[in-house]
Structure 1
Amino acid sequence: MQMLPLVINGRIELSLTPGAHSRLIKEIIEQFGPRYAPEALVLYVGDTGAKMRHFDKRGFKALGLTFDSHGKFPDVILYDKKRNWLLLIESVTSHGPVDAKRHTELSLLFKDAEAGIVYVTAFPDRQTMARYLSEISWETEVWVADAPSHIIHFDGERFLGPYEETP
């Protein structure tokens, strides 16, 4: 079984378990990240073979975040230092978009974050997205890997940014 190579943060070499889910994670880091959060740091990469393939404990601590290793993290977490955003990205090939329940889980897990939170669901293609369209939560973003230069915004007061309720 051939592992899927991945380089993050310009220097850290990882190997992901082969499969569609890992291929999409690789595309998120190599295509989505540079396009929508240039120079963002990869703080976390989950993998089907190793839940915490990459976990930047020091990076999270610098943001004032500490976690129980049993927390249900999204598949990829990017930190855009320039805009002070944490992008929480779910890689969806067979289950798991950012639906209302997942949105609540993630908001509770990251409630102490000083950075703005951006919720993103990534799909390999529009056919996969179509199966989950009715489940996707408002105030989130959707990215489709086979059309990397497009992003779909699900309502909210701003495009690709943390959603902040107005009083």
Structure 2
Amino acid sequence: MNLEIEDAKIILDDLYFENINDVTAICIIALNDDSERDGLILGYTRLSQGARVTDILNFARNDLNKPYAENTRETVRKHSLKYLVEYGLVIQNADDPNRVTNSGNNNYILTPQFRELIQAYLTDKDKYALLKETFVDSLEVTRLKEIEELKKKTDNITISHYSLKEDLRLSPGPHNIIEKFLVEDVAPHLSKDAKVVYVGDTKTKDLYFNKELVEYVGLEIDIHQKIPDVIMCDDKNGILYLFEAVASSGPIDTLRKKELEELFSDWKSKHTIVFATAFLDSSLFKRFSNQIASDTTVYLIDQKRMISYKDY
């Protein structure tokens, strides 16, 4: 049984991977391929040994009849492989971790654990169910370690994003750790085109705002006004993302949602607003779980979980 695109998507969904699309699925299929072929990195005969982005595109074109253009390479790298690596499913340059980023031999392989999970999916559903649970637990452990390291920081917490001209530097603390994950982790899963409009800091409320986008969404920056902690905008699709980072108080309850709708009334009359509250861990979320407004979303950073609040 061969791994198909829909199979790869099912596995990703089972692992709560959020950025699921055909290109990401094709990356997984390519990196799982054991058939011998020419034209790979010198000394390699199978994609599973290590595949460059070009090798993956060639595989898509020749083996799957998916003729992606060569200029798709950056999209594959930034919007598929990058997230697979960050999620612990793929290793970059396992053969040479010190390889420079612009090397023509930059390559990717599946982690042994993820490869074993795929094989179990194809051959043994009982084993797959068992491995899947273990795998999800290990992903959460990795995220918890990442959060603990950030909590220990006494210097600035940095935020990186393609729409920023330079990294943002926030003061240390749980609230700003949440903001980091919102910009770097949550937002790209919602929209690859979302841009940072505003990011506040517990010490500097107007830490960053994009003047052009602030005017575009009809917002006036006033540190005395109750502006959401993080604002991002997908101007291509007309979607505004309003995030509240909750370290002690302040989720988007019914009253807060009404305030935000009034604050962004001009935008709401023409476009879409997505409301979301983020918690660093589930223990704090439990304190506020019955206060969350309908038609909003909650993100649990430690578990990489998304919870939708909807009436029925």
- CA distance 1:78–1:68, change in 2 (3 Å): closer
In structure 2, which of residues 158, 162, 171 is the aligned counterpart of residue 17 of structure 1?
Answer: 171
Say if 1:120 and 1:140, in contact at 8 Å, map to a contact too.
yes
Structure holding more helix per residue: 2
- Whether 2:257 is the aligned partner of 1:103: answer yes
- CA distance 1:10–1:58, change in 2 (3 Å): closer
Which amino acid counterpart does residue 7 of structure 1 have in structure 2?
S
> Per-residue displacement from partner, 1:30-55 (whole Å, max 9, x unpaired)?
11011122221010001101001111
Greater RCO (Cα-Cα under 8 Å, separation 6 or more): 1
* Partner residue in 2 for 1:151: 306
> Per-residue displacement from partner, 1:76-120 (whole Å, max 9, x unpaired)?
001022331101000011101001111111111101113311110
Say if 1:45 and 1:77, in contact at 8 Å, map to a contact too.
yes
Alpha-carbon deviation of 1:4?
A: 1.0
1:106 and 1:66 mapped to 2: Cα distance? Answer: 11
In structure 1, which of residues 136, 153, 162 is the aligned counterpart of residue 292 of structure 2?
Answer: 136
* Partner residue in 1 for 2:185: 31
State percent identity of aligned pairs.
Answer: 34
- The structure whose Rg is larger is 2
Say if 2:241 and 2:276, in contact at 8 Å, map to a contact too.
yes
- CA distance 1:156–1:42, change in 2 (3 Å): farther
2:159 and 2:240 mapped to 1: Cα distance? Answer: 21
In structure 1, which of residues 79, 82, 104 is the aligned counterpart of residue 236 of structure 2?
Answer: 82
* Partner residue in 1 for 2:60: none
> Which of structure 1's runs of 4+ aligned residues deviate more than 4 A?
none
> Per-residue displacement from partner, 1:47-83 (whole Å, max 9, x unpaired)?
10100111112112233x1415132111000102233
1:107 and 1:31 mapped to 2: Cα distance? Answer: 25
Which amino acid counterpart does residue 48 of structure 1 have in structure 2?
T
> Which consecutive residues of structure 2, in runs of 5 or more, have no partner in the other structure?
1-153
- CA distance 1:61–1:100, change in 2 (3 Å): same
> Which consecutive residues of structure 1, in runs of 5 or more, have no partner in the other structure?
158-167
2:219 and 2:178 mapped to 1: Cα distance? Answer: 27
Say if 1:71 and 1:109, in contact at 8 Å, map to a contact too.
no
